[in-house]
Amino acid sequence: MSGKQKTIVVIGTLDTKGKEVKYVKDLIEKRGHKTLVIDAGVLGEPLFKPDVPAERVAQAAEAELAELVAQADTATAVQTMMKGAAEVVKELYAQGQVDGVISLGGGKGTAIGTAAMRTLPLGVPKVAVTTGASGNTRRYMGSKDLVMFPSITDIVGLNRVNSLMLSNAVGAIVGMVETELEKPLAEKRAVSITTLGITTPAAMNCQSLLEAAGYEVLVFHTTGVGGNAMEELTAAGMIDAILDLATVEVMTEVVGAGLAVPEPGRLLAAGPVPRVVCPGAIDMVAFGRRESVPPEYAHRLLYQHTPMLTVMRTNVEENTQLGELMAERLNAAQGPVAVLIPTHGFSAYDREGGVFYDPEADWAFVEALRSKLKSGILCQMIEAHINDQAFAEEAVKSLKDLMAMGFCQD
């Protein structure tokens, strides 16, 4: 063991996964750390006595375990134990009893364990051993720093495969809690930049300018999770200003399809910090492989970005809706906002001669935005493409002007 003894919370259903939870508990304790076992089972008696029984988990969600068992309603039971486990872990963390969390289970056990993990701040080690580690993991991870280990075989008894996976997962969580992290440099103001691959030059240009001016820069990839992660970290006080170059996630929200649909709160959740917003990458919505594009979009202008990624050009109607929605959200912003419009294109595909060049669709967004934006918000047209150095210079200048107004978080 390296350093002082830590406490690792182990979450599982001890009625169906008791043997496996005990195996993980014993491995952690052999490494010199304490465990705190939370039982989330509702089907029977636990294999061994947990530190936090299922009754307490249910009560934390304002329910009674006996009633959940009597109802025999799986969906209600899982929702209840998700809420209860989250409340219990949040309380334990506030008491200083959580250095890391590991869970193991199938779909239900993973839903409960990861719900608890998502209540914890960035940097607290979180590991889930699960049958659901492939496919769509966003429902478990959200925008948190969660590590998911595939169990390979189902977690039904111990065998030569899943015992190896559980051992590796224990090694991961123990290594994580033993790692002493340096605190970030507090003397620098932190600025976030959002981007996508087709606006990468814009992000890099702005990053260079901001770092040269003495700021710490955090770049977020707006794939449906990045924007929300940025908003959450800003609301938590870790970011002082936002340069929202790529707002494509809001466009996928308008279309109602694609890979980058964000959780609720995009453009709203960050709190009273300065924010410069640009329509980066709103000219497209991304899907997976070509065959994954919904049939209703088969007639649209599609482009194969990579073998795994197909992008669709957005049209006049969608851009109009986006302009109105963005204006509505920016009008409700708690901090100062400025909008910058690059008149020569919103992405690498959208410049003149590009595969998605469509000035009519772009202008539909601009007109809708300006018609709904309240008078106190600056909307500036910049005679440049979003990836031009000239646009980066204007964007950084605009953000620094807002920050100079004194709205940064202390």
Structure tokens at 36: 């705190």
Count of CB atoms situated within 10 Å of the CB of 182 = 5
**Mean pLDDT across the chain, nearest whole number?**
91
Q: pLDDT tens track of the chain, all 410 residues?
A: 556 899 999 999 999 999 999 999 999 999 999 999 999 998 889 999 999 999 999 999 999 998 888 887 888 999 999 999 999 999 999 999 999 999 998 888 999 999 999 999 888 999 999 887 776 677 777 778 899 888 888 888 888 888 899 999 999 999 999 998 776 555 788 999 999 999 999 999 999 999 999 999 999 998 888 888 898 889 888 899 999 999 999 999 999 888 777 777 789 877 889 999 999 999 999 998 899 899 999 999 999 998 888 999 999 999 999 999 999 999 999 899 999 999 999 999 999 999 999 999 999 999 999 999 999 899 999 999 999 999 999 999 999 999 987 544 33
Structure tokens at 178: 């033993």
Residues 129 and 152 sit within 8 Å (Cβ to Cβ): no
Residues 24 and 102 sit within 8 Å (Cβ to Cβ): yes
| Distance, CA of 268 to CA of 274 (rounded, Å) | 12
DSSP-derived 3-state class of residue 401: helix
- Between the CA of residue 185 and those of 13, 127, 145, 238, what are the distances in Å? 41, 27, 20, 11
The pTM assigned to this predicted structure is 0.78
Q: What is the DSSP letter of 336?
A: -
Domains defined along the chain, listed by start: 7-178 (3.40.50.12020), 190-403 (3.40.50.12030)
The DSSP secondary structure of 130-177, one letter per residue, reads: ETTSSS--HHHHTTS--EEEE-SS-SSS--TTHHHHHHHHHHHHHHHH
Digit-coded pLDDT (tens) for 61-115:
999 998 888 887 888 999 999 999 999 999 999 999 999 999 998 888 999 999 9
- Between the CA of residue 214 and those of 184, 200, 210, 337, 398, what are the distances in Å? 15, 21, 7, 22, 16
pLDDT at 308: 86
| Distance, CA of 47 to CA of 45 (rounded, Å) | 7
- Dihedrals φ, ψ of 121, to 5°? -70, 165
Any alpha helices (H) in 213-259, and if so which ranges?
Answer: 226-235, 248-255
DSSP-derived 3-state class of residue 340: strand
